[in-house]
Structures are given as C-alpha cells and as structure tokens.
A and B are shown apart, each in its own frame.
Chain A
C-alpha cells in the first residue's frame, strides 16, 4: 500500500470518522465545529510552514477573505452554499496570488509582513466606503442559508480533503521537493528542483485551505462582523497548535489541536475567572519544556510519526 494511502487511512480517516460520529453523543456541536475548523486551519498552516519554513502570522487574512468571499457570494449572487464555498476558496487563492511577492522575505520579516497584509485586508473590508459591497463595519447576516448540520458536514468533507492533501505532501514527489527546498534551497535548486515555483504552489494551497475554512465558518456562524472573521487569535491559535503538535507531520497538528484546544475549552469552562492566565502559562511552559513539539518526543526515539 502506498504510504500516502496508509497515512490517510491510519490517521486522517479515523479523525474524520470520529468527528462525524461525535455529534450523536455530544450536543455542543459548535465546539465540535470549532475543533474541525482548527484541524483544517492547522493543516493549512502546516502545508506552508511545515513544508517550506514560512510562518504566515497573518494566516487569518485568508480565513477572513474566505468568510467574506462566502458572504458576498450569498448576498450578491444568491449563490447556493456549495458554490459560495468554492468562491470562498477562490477569494483566498486570489489574495494569495496578490501576496506572492511576500515570499521574497524570510523569517520574522515574512511573518510580520503577512500580519500587516491580513490587517490591511481587514481594514479595507471593514471600511464604510465599501458598505454597499461588504456592509463595511455593520456586519453581515446570512440567515437565508443558515444550516448548521449541512455546514458541519461540509467542514468534515473539507477536513478529509485537507488531510489527504497533507498526506500526499508528506510522501509525494512534490512534497519531497518542497522539503528539500526548505532544508537547503541552494542544493535543491542545483538538483533541478524548481524551489520558487514549488513554494508558490504550497502557498496557494495553504491559502485555499484557509479560504475554504473561512467560507464554511461564515456559513456555520451566519451572523458576524469583520472583527470576527479577521480575529488575530485565529492565526495565533493555528500556529500554536501546529508547532506544539509538530509541523511537517500529518498527526502532529491533529494532536496539537485536540490537546491544546481541548485544554483551552476545559480551562474556559471549569475556571473561567483565570482562563487567560492559565492558558498563557500553559503555552509558556510548553514552549520552554517541549520546544520541538509533541512529535519530537517520538521522533527522538527513532519512531516514524505519520
């Protein structure tokens, strides 16, 4: 069995199946939806950070572009949700193409420039001058297409697709070329790998994933403001989960989301008065004592983490 298929069947499919069945026994479907959403976003971030080393601090820009792409398609084109979702992905890919020159930057420069780009997109969409198009700062309401069960299902389908994609990135020719470019761009280029164009493709894939996540989020949440779609903590959460789990693996980000987002909610519900304090301390502790992520615990012992 090819390794792509093996990884997807052993890690990806069970996750999707569990989240498909959980609503039958657990009623807080919004919590489950947010789990699925962060599973998608963490893998999307993995596609760019794990495989190319670029850390997009403004990843939420693509997410917001997707959410507004979905909203605009519903409001102005009266598009059915499935079509609106495609347009949401397309909106994010377009934004990704516009931002391609940022890939010339590296390290913290790239991270911060990307953050500024996400803010700029937010400021344009939230500007009252665009009220007739985006409803500016007054928020959108998509009550006409509100369908929590269908949007949950759509999120699961997207998750399945994204997990398959990342499994392929890990073992496919293209993904290996990317990783070679990440580890040593000069040697990779000398070996005939088109480092730059491969990077751009990974960037657009990553944008597409966030755009789809944003679109399905808009569908599920249905009434929101620009502040909601472009909330910076969405970026930060996705990054923290991915790095904690272990980038460039399929199961690392999954474990990161389930453990950390799970803990986040447990703390928020059980000790609301010290929510932020405990979560902050938890993150500091993890970075200091487990700086290479969960996956490194196994990898150090020579175990191959899917």
Chain B
C-alpha cells in the first residue's frame, strides 16, 4: 500500500510538474500570474479530443501539433496584451484580473463550441494493460504521462541552460531592469517564453483526458489551484523548482488518499502555506525577497 502510494505519487507528481511548468516560466520571466493557464490546458485537451475523434490522430501526434499551434498563437497574444499591461502601476496584481477576464472568455467560448458534457480519449490508445514495476501494477497512461512530463522538463532545461536564447531568458528572469539596460530585447525574449508557457500548458492538456479521467470546459479553475500549489511549493519563478513542487504534491496527495482520504484536498493548500511560511521563496528559491 505504502509503496504503491509512493510510486503512484512520483508518477502523478511528474504530470503535475508539467501542469505547473508553463505557469512558472511565465511568472518567472514576466512576473505575470496567468490565471487562464488552466483554461489553456483545457483547450489543449479539447484539441487532442477532436484530433483523435475527428481525424483519428493519436495523442503522440496531437502533442507536437498542439505545442506548435499554441506557440504560434502565444506570440501575437503576448504583443497584444502584455506590453500594455506593463504600463500599469501594479502590473503583477493587475495581471491577475486581466487573465481572469481572459479565462472567462476562453471558458465561455469553449462552453459554446464544445458543450458541457464530460469528454475523454479511450485509454487503449496509449496501450493496453497495466505497467509492472517493482511488483506494482501501475496505470500505463500515467507512466506515459509522466515520461512525457520528464521529457518536457529536460527540454526546458536544455533550452534555458544550453541555448543563447535561454541565457537571455534567464537574464530577464534575474532582473528585468538590468536586462533592459544591457540591451536585451526584452519583449522578444518574453514573448518567446510566454509562447513556450502556452505550448507546455497545451502539452499537459493533451494528456489530461488520460490523467484526470475526463475534461470539461469548466476544468480550468481546479487545474489552476493545483498548479499554484505546485509552483509555490517548488519555487515561484524558477521553472526547474517546479519539479520538486510537483513531486511533493503528487506523493503528498496520494499518501493523504491512503491514510486520510476525506482530507486529501486539504493537503496541497496546507503544504503551500507551510512552505511559504518557512521558506518564503519556495523550497528551491534562491532570490531574496525584497522587504
């Protein structure tokens, strides 16, 4: 029982890392809280749903299509919205409201276009039968979801630490003002990071029908609440810290389900508050907070 919960927690946690990854990148680079993150994820899920049911495309083909599509949509959206937002007195707080509005628009359009019933993609698409590991039967879909998440984390790491564009991105994350002063084209770097954030949300969405059972246009809010817990526990603004957050979240949730199931949803919130009070910058946070 304990072993199963721990293993399941690691796998589930990997997927939740993927859910938080894009949100954290966007916050780290732009200091924007993308409240519509969960709804972008929902759009990714519906894209995968329609690609499968109308065009017969498996999620493995849908995933790159969705990522490219969301990346290309993300670039113009950034230029349309974010530079204007930066004019405000308290842009970080105002971004919450702006993206709340965006979230409302996405959910409303999705409800009109897709209807309100639960949708999913059959699990057999990802292979049949459970996956055996350390004497435990694990869901095949979950293992695949976790593997995709791990791949995404590694790819993001390579981008941030082994490309020039990644270096500039990290410079903007460290200090927007100094990056600007040293001649970095902040908006180009930020737009790229924003679009990558959306692409990652879309990727997480493609596998949501397998990980969450089913999807509806209303799912965004609860996804966001989990994603917040993951990125804060890890470290807000440090995309790779998300991994720690995701794993702690996954393992904690499944241990709670095992021993105190009725209180399981309380855990992420307590974890989040607890971590913040002990280490206000998250477990892997380095930057010192300004008083």
Contact = CB atoms under 8 A, between A and B. Distances in A.
Nearest to B103: A280
B272 A116 contact: yes
Contacts of B98: 283-284, 287-288
Contacts of B273: 102, 113, 116-117, 120
B280 A280 contact: no
Contact of B100 (A128, A283, A291): A283
- Looking at B109, B221, B266, the one whose CB has the most chain A CB atoms below 10 A away is B266
Interface stretch (B10-18, B84-92, B118-126, B131-139): B84-92
A119 B276 contact: no
B257 to A, nearest CB: 14
Contacts of A124: 266
A109 B236 contact: yes
Nearest to B27: A108
A282 B108 CA distance: 13
A288 B268 CA distance: 33
Contacts of B236: 108-109, 112
A279 B87 CA distance: 23
Contacts of B265: 123
A97 to B, nearest CB: 15
Contacts of B272: 112-113, 116
A102 B274 CA distance: 10
Contacts of A101: 277
B86 to A, nearest CB: 9
Nearest to A281: B105
Given A111-B33, A123-B266, A186-B291, A280 B229 contact: no
B85 A276 contact: no
A120 B105 contact: no
A49 B93 CA distance: 10
A113 B102 CA distance: 22
Interface string A91-121: 0000000000110111111011101110110
B207 to A, nearest CB: 25
Given A57-B96, A127-B262, A277-B104, A109 B269 contact: no
A108 B26 CA distance: 13
B81 interface: yes
Given A291-B87, A291-B89, A105 B280 contact: yes
Contact of A284 (B31, B92, B101, B111): B101
Interface in B48-104: 81, 84-85, 87-90, 92-94, 96-98, 100-104
A53 B263 CA distance: 33
Contact of A276 (B87, B88, B108): B108
Contacts of A49: 93
Contacts of A274: 108
Contacts, number: 133
* Chain B interface size, under 10 / 10 to 19 / 20 to 34 / 35 or more: 35 or more
A106 B289 contact: yes
Contacts of B232: 109, 112-113, 116
A276 B104 contact: yes
B30 to A, nearest CB: 11
A166 interface: no
A142 interface: no
Contacts of B142: none
Contacts of B88: 287, 291-292
The winner among B27, B272, B289 for most chain A CB atoms within 10 A is B272
A55 to B, nearest CB: 5
B225 interface: yes
Nearest to A57: B96
Q: Which of A112, A115, A232 has the most CB of B within 10 A?
A: A112
A240 interface: yes
Contacts of B263: 123, 127, 129
Nearest to A107: B92
A85 interface: no
A105 B276 contact: yes
Contact of A120 (B92, B101, B270, B291): B270
A112 B229 CA distance: 9
Most interface-central of A124, A236, A239, A288 (chain B CB within 10 A)? A288
Interface string A37-77: 00000000000010001010100000000000000000000
A1 B246 CA distance: 59
A46 B263 CA distance: 33
14 contacts: A53-B90, A104-B280, A108-B33, A109-B289, A112-B232, A113-B276, A127-B266, A232-B221, A236-B100, A274-B108, A280-B104, A283-B97, A283-B100, A288-B98
Interface of A: 49, 53, 55, 57, 101-102, 104-109, 111-113, 115-117, 119-120, 123-124, 127-129, 185-186, 232, 236, 239-240, 243, 274-277, 279-284, 287-288, 291-292
Which 9 pairs across A and B sit closest by C-beta, in order of nearness?
A: A280-B104, A283-B101, A291-B88, A277-B108, A276-B108, A280-B105, A284-B101, A116-B269, A120-B269
Given A106-B289, A115-B225, A129-B263, 12 more contacts: A102-B273, A105-B289, A107-B92, A109-B276, A109-B280, A112-B272, A116-B268, A128-B262, A279-B104, A283-B100, A291-B84, A291-B94
